[in-house]
């Protein structure tokens, strides 16, 4: 069977649903009680726009009825302003229940956000401004983040729709006498602000939620206020062609109905309305005139199941020739808001283009009502259908980027209430810019989210005009003002997790980076001073430091200064490099006196401990940068005036020297005299700082009979960085030293210095 329905292409569709549509007798009685209560409460009150509150509430609730919302939602819509006039929700909770009170309170919170989302607060807008588009997206997320139940957003969308309807009616009916022009100018500015905000925030939200009935009305009314000339021109063109279009649509429906009936496809066919804003958008984006639009004439075919969709598509393409490149399969590949339908364009009767949309009843309900359709879907479903409902809720969570998992078989109200965006807080700058920070974030997180320097100089904050402590958590919707110092940096206390000053990883990283840079600056300054003293001793105060750094294997001066400050570069290689740059000869080694008997090697010296392959009587010294210990793999490097410096093969300083002058590298090995000798070794320890840490590490080394000769320690961000210098006889003893140090409570890492 094929049902034929011809819809008019007007600015509106069918008459609005009555307020009590779809409710049983008990629900209607409760809703009537809410109407009486609202009438008494609102009395002669008016909104900031000048619209009386009671008509606004009735229009809002009627819009919710039109998209199939439940009795609770309609009641909350009627009482959207009650929390403000009752100074709380206690009365609503006692008379209408907890759920109505929560929804009404949420609607009031979103209404208070109204000032923050005004375009005037956000600067001049441009559709092509990427930053403004991003800011509008954050605002939409902020709206969603402020509610625990998505029905609050639908109430807000219905409220905005009613506001625009009232403004349109006021503009048409107003007769203000001699001051009419001035009043029109004031009203026009207000309408423009509301319309711009609607297109930026609320219409995209309605589209995201798939509530088409509200989306198209929000867009058309906003477009009417923003560009009245274009709106009226398109409206006149639609009206002029109305009779011709209706006759054409009726002819097309008869032809397609006959073909579908012959093919055994059960379908309902409508003439599809085309809305003014969507027509203008297509004309603008594709550079077309009104007469060139192929989809002003359109059909919508509603069938029983997905298989019938493709069967109906084949019938339409057999009946009329399809237009190339004008077919979209949103059934197999739904849109981001889960919209599903087949779209095709054909050359219809009389050789005119005709758009055809094909979808199932379920797809159509979702396309028209979006998320609101799920309330109807839930009603009357058996337990066997619970999984289908949960699938739709899962889609909703993905759609809105909600993190919580869907509990199997959970009811709609419980599931959506748990779907709050509880991992992000959206707060406002004094100029109205929205900034997102982690839930529980503080003014310090907010400051670093805006700018790193603002975070470094943050010394105080105001939340909604009240001075607060820096560890105060920020709530979504609050306006934050950061109080700063002209100079200075962050406090180390900010990194103390127990104090709770910082929640975001970005802020913590920036604070650590500041302290690391400060420490690096001190190290560079120390290294520079050391180098300058050495240069003065060698008479090279005016030496080319860039050339000197390059000679020692460093790309920049600061890298050389930092290495010297960390004792990674010996002064003797510095002196040798400086003399070489000056063109002088290295100082010759002093010749031994034959008649003097050699002294017995002192403990800790390297005499006889290292052999140079292929050479005898070569003066050697163990490098201070890596302090090799038998049986470490070692290499030698010929210095100027000090013989061969012995390094571990993996020493970074040796690798730089070898890369710069490979001809000075020697093959060396440990000699027999190395056994049983004492070697100076340095280890670096990183640990959680605590009282008694240094004592515990010293005691652990003493138990291994290891003689500690020097200790350096520094604490940053509750972490201790320690360097121990001690003597070991061989690598086995060094490994034992590492073992006992790593067993000390709080030690994070221990490695060769």
pLDDT at 323 (0 to 100): 86
pLDDT at 618 (0 to 100): 67
The residue with greater pLDDT, 12 or 574, is: 574
The long-range contacts involving 616-622, CB below 8 angstroms and separated by at least 24 positions, are: 618/643, 618/644, 619/589, 619/643, 619/644, 620/644, 620/645, 620/646, 620/668, 621/645, 621/646, 622/646, 622/679, 622/680
pLDDT at 60 (0 to 100): 93
Mean pLDDT of 418-445: 74
Q: CATH code for 424-503?
A: 3.10.20.30
pLDDT at 749 (0 to 100): 85
Report which of 603, 632, 623 is spatially closest to residue 732, judged by C-alpha positions: 632
State the chain's mean pLDDT as an integer: 76
pLDDT at 67 (0 to 100): 82
Q: CATH code for 679-752?
A: 3.30.70.260
pLDDT at 143 (0 to 100): 61
| pLDDT tens digit sequence for 1-34 | 555 443 333 333 444 568 888 888 999 999 999 9
pLDDT at 583 (0 to 100): 60
pLDDT at 390 (0 to 100): 42
C-alpha distance across the termini of the chain, in Å: 87
pLDDT at 595 (0 to 100): 37
pLDDT at 679 (0 to 100): 72
pLDDT at 12 (0 to 100): 38
| pLDDT tens digit sequence for 641-664 | 667 888 888 888 888 888 888 888
Would you say 297 and 359 are in contact if contact means Cβ atoms under 8 Å apart?
no
Fold of 238-370: Beta Polymerase; domain 2 (3.30.460)
pLDDT at 315 (0 to 100): 93
Distance CA 16, CA 33 (A): 22
Distance CA 283, CA 528 (A): 68
| pLDDT tens digit sequence for 274-320 | 678 878 877 787 777 766 665 577 899 999 999 999 999 999 999 99
Distance CA 108, CA 97 (A): 17
pLDDT at 448 (0 to 100): 93
Cα separation values, 410 from 41, 73, 145, 415, Å = 36, 19, 21, 6
pLDDT at 727 (0 to 100): 80
pLDDT at 616 (0 to 100): 57
Indicate whether 89 pLDDT > 60: yes
The residue with greater pLDDT, 600 or 431, is: 431
Of 375-384, 457-466, 601-610, 713-722, which one has max mean pLDDT? Answer: 457-466
Distance CA 348, CA 355 (A): 9
pLDDT at 399 (0 to 100): 39
pLDDT at 409 (0 to 100): 30
| pLDDT tens digit sequence for 530-565 | 887 777 777 766 778 888 888 788 888 888 888 887
| pLDDT tens digit sequence for 582-622 | 664 444 444 443 433 333 333 334 444 677 655 555 678 88
- Which stretch of 122-126, 260-264, 454-458, 663-667 has the lowest confidence by average pLDDT? 122-126
Indicate whether 49 pLDDT > 90: no
Fold match flag (25-226 vs 679-752): no
User: For residue 95, how far is the Cα from the chain centroid?
Assistant: 41
Q: What percent of the chain has pLDDT over 70?
A: 74
Mean pLDDT of 163-174: 80
pLDDT at 36 (0 to 100): 93
> At 731, is the pLDDT very low, low, confident or very high (cuts 50, 70, 90)?
confident
Fold of 25-226: Hypothetical protein af1432 (1.10.3210)
The neighbour count for residue 261, using CB atoms within 10 Å, is: 14
Cα separation values, 5 from 2, 168, 252, Å = 10, 30, 12
> At 403, is the pLDDT very low, low, confident or very high (cuts 50, 70, 90)?
very low
- Which stretch of 51-60, 161-170, 280-289, 469-478 has the lowest confidence by average pLDDT? 280-289
**For the chain, domain boundaries:** 25-226, 238-370, 380-417, 424-503, 515-582, 610-674, 679-752
Would you say 366 and 373 are in contact if contact means Cβ atoms under 8 Å apart?
yes
Q: What percent of the chain has pLDDT over 90?
A: 19
Distance CA 60, CA 159 (A): 5
The residue with greater pLDDT, 103 or 140, is: 103
The residue with greater pLDDT, 692 or 385, is: 692
Cis bond before residue 182 (omega within 30° of 0): no
pLDDT at 6 (0 to 100): 37
């Amino acid at each position: 069977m094929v049902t034929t329905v011809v819809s008019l292409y007007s600015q509106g569709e069918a008459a609005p649903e009555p307020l009590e549509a779809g409710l049983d007798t008990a629900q209607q009685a409760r809703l009537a009680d809410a109407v009486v209560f609202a009438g008494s409460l609102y009395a002669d009150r008016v909104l900031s726009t000048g619209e009386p509150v009671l008509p606004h509430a009735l229009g809002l609730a009627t819009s919710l009825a039109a998209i199939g919302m439940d009795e609770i939602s309609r009641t909350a819509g009627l009482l959207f302003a009650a929390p403000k006039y009752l100074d709380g929700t206690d009365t609503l909770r006692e008379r209408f229940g907890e759920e109505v009170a929560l929804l009404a309170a949420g609607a009031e919170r979103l209404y208070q956000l109204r000032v923050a989302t005004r375009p005037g607060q956000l600067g001049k807008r441009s559709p092509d401004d990427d930053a403004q588009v991003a800011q509008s997206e954050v605002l939409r997320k902020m709206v969603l983040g402020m509610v625990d139940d998505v029905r609050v957003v639908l109430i807000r969308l219905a409220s905005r729709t009613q506001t625009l309807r009232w403004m349109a009616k006021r503009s048409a009916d107003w007769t203000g006498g001699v001051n009419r022009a001035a009043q029109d100018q004031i009203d026009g500015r207000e309408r423009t602000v509301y319309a711009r905000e609607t297109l930026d925030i609320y219409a995209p939200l309605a589209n995201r939620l798939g509530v088409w009935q509200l989306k198209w009305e929000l867009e058309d009314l906003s477009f009417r206020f923003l560009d009245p000339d274009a709106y009226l021109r398109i409206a006149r063109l639609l009206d002029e062609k109305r009779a011709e279009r209706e006759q054409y649509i009726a002819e097309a429906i008869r032809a397609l109905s006959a073909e579908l009936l012959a093919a055994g496809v059960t379908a309902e066919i409508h003439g599809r309305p085309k809305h003014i804003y969507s027509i203008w958008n297509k004309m603008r984006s594709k550079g077309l005139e009104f007469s060139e639009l192929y989809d002003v004439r359109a059909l919508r075919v509603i069938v029983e199941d997905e298989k019938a969709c493709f069967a109906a598509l084949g019938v339409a393409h057999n009946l009329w020739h399809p237009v190339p490149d004008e077919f979209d399969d949103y059934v197999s590949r739904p849109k981001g808001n889960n919209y599903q339908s087949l779209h095709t364009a054909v050359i219809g009767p009389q050789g005119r283009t005709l758009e055809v949309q094909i979808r199932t009843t379920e797809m159509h309900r979702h396309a028209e009502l979006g998320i609101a359709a799920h309330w109807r879907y839930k009603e009357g479903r058996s337990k066997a259908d619970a999984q289908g409902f949960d699938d739709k809720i899962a889609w909703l969570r993905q759609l809105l980027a909600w993190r919580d998992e869907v509990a199997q078989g959970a009811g709609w109200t419980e599931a959506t209430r748990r779907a709050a965006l509880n991992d992000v807080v959206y707060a406002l700058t004094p100029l109205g810019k929205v900034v997102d920070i982690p839930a529980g974030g503080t003014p310090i997180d907010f400051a670093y989210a805006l700018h790193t320097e603002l975070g470094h100089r943050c010394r105080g904050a105001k939340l909604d005009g009240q001075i607060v402590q820096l560890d105060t958590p920020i709530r979504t919707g609050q306006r934050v003002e950061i109080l700063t110092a002209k100079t200075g940096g962050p406090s180390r206390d900010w990194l103390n997790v127990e104090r709770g000053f910082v929640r975001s990883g970005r802020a913590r990283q920036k604070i650590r980076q500041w302290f690391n840079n400060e420490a690096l600056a001190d190290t560079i300054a120390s290294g520079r001073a050391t180098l300058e003293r050495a240069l003065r001793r060698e008479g090279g105060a005016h030496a080319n430091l860039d050339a000197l750094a390059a000679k020692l294997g460093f790309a920049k001066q600061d890298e050389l200064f930092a290495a010297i400050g960390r004792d990674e570069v010996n002064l003797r290689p510095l002196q040798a490099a400086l003399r070489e740059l000056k063109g002088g000869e290295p100082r010759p080694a002093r010749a031994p006196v034959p008649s003097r008997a050699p002294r017995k090697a002192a403990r800790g010296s390297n005499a006889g401990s290292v052999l140079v392959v292929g050479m005898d009587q070569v003066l050697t010294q163990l490098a201070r940068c890596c302090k090799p210990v038998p049986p470490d793999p070692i290499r030698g490097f010929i210095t100027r005036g000090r013989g061969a410096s012995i390094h571990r093969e993996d020493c970074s300083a040796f690798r730089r020297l070898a890369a710069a002058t490979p001809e000075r590298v020697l093959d060396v090995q440990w000699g027999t005299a190395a056994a049983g000798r004492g070697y100076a070794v340095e280890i670096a320890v990183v640990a959680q700082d605590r009282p008694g840490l240094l004592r515990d590490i010293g005691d652990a080394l003493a138990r291994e009979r290891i003689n500690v000769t020097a200790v350096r320690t520094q604490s940053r961000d509750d972490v201790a960085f320690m360097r121990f210098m001690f003597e070991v006889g061989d690598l086995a003893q060094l490994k034992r030293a590492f073992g006992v140090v790593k067993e000390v409570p709080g030690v994070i890492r221990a490695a060769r210095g």
